[in-house]
Structure 1
Amino acid sequence: LTSTSIYFQPETDSDDSRKSRMQRWRLARLSEVHGRRFLLRPCALELFFADAQGVFFAFGDQRERMRFYRTLRRQSGTCPLLSSPRSLHPPRVLEHYRWTHLWQTRQISNFEYIMRLNVIAGRSYNDLTQYPVFPWVISDYTSDTLDLSNPATFRDLEKPIGALSPDRLEAFLDRYQSLKLVPDPQMPPFMYGSHYSSAGVVLHYLIRQEPYTSMAIDLHDGRFDCPDRLFFNVHESYASCTTSMTDVKELIPELFCMPEMLLNSNKFGFGTLQDGNAVDSVVLPPWAKGDPWEFVRLHKEALESEHVSSNLHKWVDLIFGYKQRGPASEEANNVFFYLTYEGGVDIDEIEDPQDKHATEQQIYHFGQTPSQLMTEPHPARLPAAECILTLGS
């Protein structure tokens, strides 16, 4: 870190010059700095620049991170675009930017608000284990026409994805109560053993796009996963997420803005399903008319619909808010495995190398809950009639 730039020289034995060359970022282009976790350790920073580029640095420990951050803040004279508050505490960052007020008064879209919450809560495109999370908003994947005026078209945003099916929820609660009957001080009881967001979930959705295709192959020891477990059909995926005891995944932003992810443009051979059909491009709901661009258009329209606008705060409470932890999370049937939560474990305190490695692998592969941003119920969005802005306001 100099008075004008940040330089990074990778340590690598690779012959690939692209991986070993020094990188440089000008401080004059720096616009935001956010605290980040890496494997649940508060030892990372993510820097955003005026060209929307984001860089994720994981330091050796929290003290090293703070040393770098304080030095960077002292360079503020050379960072004219830097708008971040000095605090790295996510709730304070949220308060500083006033994104909730802007969303309430309809000055930003639902999509932008969810993205802003993700960024502040530590989600990043630069870390598959903490990728931005978006909600399933539609429950109708069989109709020829998508009726956005019908409440039955939409998923219940007040419930976590694992609680949408009463029968499955009963099974989750039975397990939860069984775990509570035999307390284990090392492992608090949980409802869901899998998570709504993980590296595997991201690769599941983006398997048709490089570099995620290669990452998915690496994850499964040099081959694609079993064809029937791939993302091959939107309706089947939603059915799995609402009925399977091992599947409670939510969505990723690309499903609202990137139709290309639904196409097998690279002609990968994903294999054949048990019914004999080959896995190719994603099979879309009838209302999308077989067109990925139409699917994304309608999916985004549903996200920005009045129904979702009126209920999105309930989902925010589950993922980022007061129903994420504590008694409120139990009442909302929203309790996950303890190693997904910030503060669930201090990896640096684990002395046994094997235990430490196993814990890191659990955190890396099985999901991490975002940082909690709110401890009070999230306010609802104001009616559109109350948010009419005059020209020039």
Structure 2
Amino acid sequence: FPWILRDYVSETLDLTDPAVFRDLSKPIGVANERHARDVKEKYESFEDPTGTVDKFHYGTHYSNAAGVMHYLIRTQTFTTGSNQVSCATRFDCSDRQFHSVPAAWQARMENPVDVKELIPEFFYFPEFLENQNGFDLGCLQLSNEKVGDVVLPRWARSREDFIYQHRKALESEYVSAHLHEWIDLIFGYKQRGPAAVEALNVFYYCTYEGAVDLDAIADETQRKALEGIISNFGQTPCQL
């Protein structure tokens, strides 16, 4: 599911104002237009001396197992799964955890490397925003604030209200008129080829269907490494 809003700081959410919505015609990595030049330069300057790796705009992916567990860290069995993916026996650094909806959006605005989109739970499951199990998620480094329940936008009165308003935004006239642009990026003609290059929408080659023939890789270590990348760090869906 896409990030659909860009306003997480106002006291009220006006869904009749186009300015509160994200530009769905652009990948999340360049939702902040200031990142477009850097992303384009990275693509144009990249060269793999082995000739194996094609040029790409993003080395991470918008949907992967690690991203799902990042958002659902407060919800078992995803809590356990998160530690397994990171090969850790304890939680990640508190500042890197999903601790605030406004902060998560701000991270997208400040860091073109972080291209995680949303998961369906943002539109129907308020419980994932609550630390019901009382997990010790540590404290933020700068404020020393303890990480517990997810911090909500100012316009949300409660977790349930956040889900309600977020779903209402998804069903709004603006999103209905522009969602096809995001679908073009993820599933359609801007997913691959020249249109993807022009749209700044090319990801690491291993994430694309058919890009790697695992059966043809004789080296077991190399094959398992590629399987791990595909499994944990993202796979682009089949192109429509």
How does the TM-score come out when normalised to structure 1? 0.59
Residue of structure 1 in register with 2:31 after alignment: 164
The verdict on how the C-alpha distance between 1:169 and 1:184 changes in structure 2, with shifts beyond 3 A counting, is farther
The verdict on how the C-alpha distance between 1:184 and 1:357 changes in structure 2, with shifts beyond 3 A counting, is same
How many residue pairs match? The answer is: 238
For residues 19 and 125 of structure 2, what CA distance do their matches in structure 1 show?
26
Verify the 8 A CA contact 1:242 1:248 in the aligned structure 2. no
For residues 15 and 49 of structure 2, what CA distance do their matches in structure 1 show?
46
1:14-93 alignment, distance < 5 Å: none
Identity %: 50
- Equivalent residue for 1:335, pick from 199, 202, 206: 202
For residues 272 and 203 of structure 1, what CA distance do their matches in structure 2 show?
19
**Alpha-carbon deviation of 1:176?**
0.7
Verify the 8 A CA contact 1:256 1:297 in the aligned structure 2. yes
**Any idea what SS the aligned residue of 1:356 has?**
helix
Which amino acid is the alignment partner of residue 277 of structure 1? E
For residues 55 and 49 of structure 2, what CA distance do their matches in structure 1 show?
8
**Alpha-carbon deviation of 1:169?**
2.1
**Alpha-carbon deviation of 1:195?**
0.4
**Alpha-carbon deviation of 1:217?**
2.0
1:1-393 alignment, distance < 5 Å: 134-179=1-46, 184-220=50-86, 221-274=88-141, 275-289=143-157, 291-373=158-240
Verify the 8 A CA contact 2:190 2:199 in the aligned structure 1. yes
**Any idea what SS the aligned residue of 1:288 has?**
coil
* Gap runs ≥5 in structure 1: 1-133, 374-393
For residues 356 and 184 of structure 1, what CA distance do their matches in structure 2 show?
17
**Any idea what SS the aligned residue of 1:194 has?**
coil
Deviation sequence 1:285-321 (CA, Å, 0-9, x none): 00002x0000000000000000000000000000011
Larger radius of gyration: 1
**Alpha-carbon deviation of 1:184?**
4.9
Verify the 8 A CA contact 2:29 2:113 in the aligned structure 1. no
Residue of structure 2 in register with 1:29 after alignment: none
**Any idea what SS the aligned residue of 2:128 has?**
helix
For residues 14 and 40 of structure 2, what CA distance do their matches in structure 1 show?
33
For residues 196 and 218 of structure 1, what CA distance do their matches in structure 2 show?
20
For residues 332 and 245 of structure 1, what CA distance do their matches in structure 2 show?
15
Structure with bigger strand share is 1
The verdict on how the C-alpha distance between 1:184 and 1:171 changes in structure 2, with shifts beyond 3 A counting, is farther
RMSD (Å), alpha carbons = 1.1
For residues 192 and 153 of structure 2, what CA distance do their matches in structure 1 show?
35
